[in-house]
Every structure is written in structure tokens, then in C-alpha cells.
Amino acid sequence: MNRAERFSYLGLVADGDTLRGHYRLDDVDFVEEVTVDGADLTNAAQRSIAELWYLIAGLSYYKAGAARVIDFGDVPVGDAGRTLVEAAVIDGLGEYRFRNDLPLEDVTFEGGAPVDVAPVSADPSNVLIPFGGGIDSCVTVAALAHCTRTLFVVSPASGTFAPLEATAAVTGLPMQRVTRHLDLATLTSRPFFNGHVPVTTMVTLLAVLSALANGQGSVAMSNEHSSSAPNLTWRGRTINHQWSKSERAETLIAEAVAERIGSAFVVASYLRDRSELWVAQQFAQNTALLPVFRSCNRAFAQDQAKRATQWCGECDKCLFINLVLAPFLSRDTLRDIFGSEPLTNPTLAGSLAALVGVGLDNKPFECVGDPDESAAALVEIAARPEWHDVPALAHLAAQVHPERSFQQLLEPQRGSRVPAAWLR
């Protein structure tokens, strides 16, 4: 399949609380539409953040042709915004580049206008929390109980996600919603390149827009320390499925937002200095959420007819969540939650080995912890009497040598950008 020559930003149109982003890939036009509760694009700050989102959202359509030229036209970009977009193309599309053998080093960027700063005053203790219904965002919600909290959810045009809505309902918190209409009909109208895009970056920017529209002064993401760990190195660059959740991406997003609305508004991840094991430990204490939460990706398919109604027990995400919760929940409790035992399933032995860094040179292209975290969890549970009837776990545990101990992984891992208002 041949690459396209030019990807163009044709303009962002606002109609009340609805945004329509217009793009062109050579001779093919795309339109993405999002509805943001409470948004007012006559407000300069909201308009500016919407333009930043529009720049990143274009990558969902750029990927169809991997064009050699990206033309911003007259869209305000700014220096920090340009740095964010360029990083999102090379690193945010890293997995896509690897899978399609598209280095993209030859991509050039044209056009773009300066940005006008529209500074806002903001109280970071009034926080908007992007919520996915998994253990990460649930832990952030609980940890920020001393703040004024509102949940933020992005729903597809095909309808809301039942497990996410059920988990959100347990928190009892108010919710702000964005509904996203991807131009799927055009994307599937002919052969195109396909692959992973930096969705979390798009969600983060929509959360900033929603927060500005509804009076919050910060956005608290739930991206852990291990999200910065790459999957592999290809053509001299690291490839990270979770780049959009990485520390680098967080910093670039915050700088691009500050370039437009000033530094008073905070965008940071509450979990940046924490391991997946610490998150699992905290989550396991919230018994009200255990029966309803869901991290299985098959529950979040765009096509509603293809959504799983329970944990599939087969994917890397199900396996990983079982693994990190096992040190903190009884085996019976885990079985009740998941309806199966992925850790004892012999058909998943290869996947478990990959999670803990045995047998593969890279961790799976999935939102899972780094191999060191997984290995430490495995060593911990393999030593427990309730798992002694599964010798395969002990056999695999004997092959791993995590650099950090289980207890070390329950301590802060490194610094973060968390503001003082989020700390007790």
C-alpha cells in the first residue's frame, strides 16, 4: 500500500457545545465530531484548548495514509504545541509505525499560526478525573477524596460502556461527558493503514476542555510509573504502546496547555510515582468496587454488539489484573470477581511468561505493568500456600529475578508533578 502525500487540517468548526474537526488526506475528507457538555467555544481559553485537541485528534485519520507532509494550515499551533504534535507522530504512533514498517522520519510539518495566550485562574483542588472503570482511575478517585471531585468520561457514538457506568455509579460522584463520533465510515471505505494512536492524549485534552467549561481547575490522570517503560527498541527509537500515558507525554501535554491558558491550570497524573502493585494494593481495599469494576478490553469495543458482558479471562489485560491483585485478594475472591482463573489456565502460560519477561524480548503491546512488576507479583503469590497446587507458577517464578523487591514496589518509585493541593 502506498503512502499518502499530504495530510491537511482544514479547520475546526464550533456549533454550541459540538466541535467538528475537518481533515483531508490527499483527496479523502474526514470529519470528527465531539459534543462536550457545557462547552462554549466563544470563550478564548476553551477555543484554544479545543484547537490543541483538534491537532492531536487528526492522527486518527493521518494514520490512514502516513502522509509525507502534515499541513497545519492556519490553525494556531505554537512552539509547545508543535513539539507535542511532532512527538505524537513519531512516538505516539510508535507501535503503529513498528507494525506497519513505517519509520516516518521523512515527515515534514508545514503551516501553523502562533497562539494567543488566554490565561485562566484555577483552583487545582477542584479536580476533574478521567474515569475508565479500571483499578487505576478508581484509586485516583479514592485518593483525592479531600478535593472537590468530578468524573470525566468519553463515550463513543455507539453508546455508553455498561461496566464503566456501573463502576462510576458506585462512586456517587457527578460526571461530565464527551461523546465522540469517529469518522469510521470513511476510514473503512477503502484500504488504509491501521494501528494504535495516542488516544489518552486526545482524552486528556478533551478533559481539559471539559474542566474549563465547567469550572474545574485541574485534570488528574491515572497513569503509573511503569507506563513510561518501552516495549522494545526499533530503528534506534524506543516503541511504547503506552507512550500517551508516559511521563514524557504528560510533560509535553502540560507545556502545550500552559502555552495557551497559562500555568495555573494543572494537568498531571496522580499515580506517576507509583507502581501497578501499589495501585492494586490500594484498590483491593475498596470492597464496594470489586464486583463491578472491569479492565478487560473486550468490554470496551467500539461496536456495541461485540462488547463482552463479563471478564473474558483470556486477554493479556485480564491476566495482568489477576496477577497484580492476587497478592492482595484471596484466590476465592479473585475467582468470584473474574468467573475464571487465568493464572491457572495452561493455554495462557506463554502470555504469563511474556508478562514477567520470560521467553520474549518485549512486553505485550497492552496497557500492563513492566516485567519487573509482574515478576515481583509472581514470586510473591507462588510462595503462598493457596497457590501451591499450581506448580507451573512456582516453576515460572524460579526463572525470574526482579530488580526491585515486592516491598520496594509498594514504595514511591520516583518524583511526579502532583500539586500540593492533591496531597493530604
Question: Can you give the pLDDT at residue 294?
Answer: 83
Question: Can you give the pLDDT at residue 301?
Answer: 59
Q: What is the DSSP letter of 113?
A: B
* Residue 287 to residue 186: CA distance in whole angstroms: 44
User: Would the pLDDT of 245 be above 70?
Assistant: yes
Mean pLDDT in the chain? 93
* Residue 374 to residue 224: CA distance in whole angstroms: 14
User: Would the pLDDT of 122 be above 90?
Assistant: yes
Secondary structure (DSSP) of 38-55: T--TTSHHHHHHHHHHHH
pLDDT in tens, 126-179: 999 999 989 999 999 999 999 999 999 998 877 777 778 889 999 999 999 999
Supply angle C-alpha 278, 283, 286, rounded to 5: 145
Element at 300 (helix H, strand E): none
Q: What is the mean pLDDT of residues 400-419?
A: 93
Nearest in space to 192 (alpha carbons), one of 30, 38, 311, 353: 30
pLDDT in tens, 68-116: 999 999 999 999 999 999 999 999 999 999 999 999 999 999 999 999 9
**Tell me, what amino acid is at 132?**
G
Q: What are the cell numbers at 406? A: 515486592
Q: What is the mean pLDDT of residues 311-327?
A: 92
107 to each of 65, 69, 192, 199, 308, how far by Cα in Å? Answer: 12, 6, 18, 21, 39
Task: Check if the beta carbon of residue 95 is closer than 8 Å to that of residue 239.
Answer: yes
pLDDT in tens, 174-223: 999 999 999 988 888 888 999 999 999 999 999 999 999 999 999 999 99
Percent of the chain with pLDDT over 90: 80
Question: Can you give the pLDDT at residue 300?
Answer: 59
Nearest in space to 422 (alpha carbons), one of 172, 143, 173: 143
What is the domain partition of the chain in residue ranges?
6-120+176-269, 277-410
Nearest in space to 45 (alpha carbons), one of 120, 141, 145, 123: 120
**Tell me, what amino acid is at 148?**
T
Question: Can you give the pLDDT at residue 67?
Answer: 98
pLDDT in tens, 359-404: 766 778 888 989 999 999 999 999 999 999 999 999 999 999 999 9
Q: What is the mean pLDDT of residues 285-313?
A: 76
The confidence band for 55, taking pLDDT boundaries of 50, 70 and 90, is very high
Question: Can you give the pLDDT at residue 83?
Answer: 98
User: Would the pLDDT of 313 be above 90?
Assistant: no
Percent of the chain with pLDDT over 70: 96
Q: pTM value?
A: 0.95
User: Would the pLDDT of 285 be above 80?
Assistant: yes
Secondary structure (DSSP) of 137-172: HHHHHHHTTTSEEEEEEEEETT---HHHHHHHHHHT
**DSSP reduced 3-state for 32:** strand
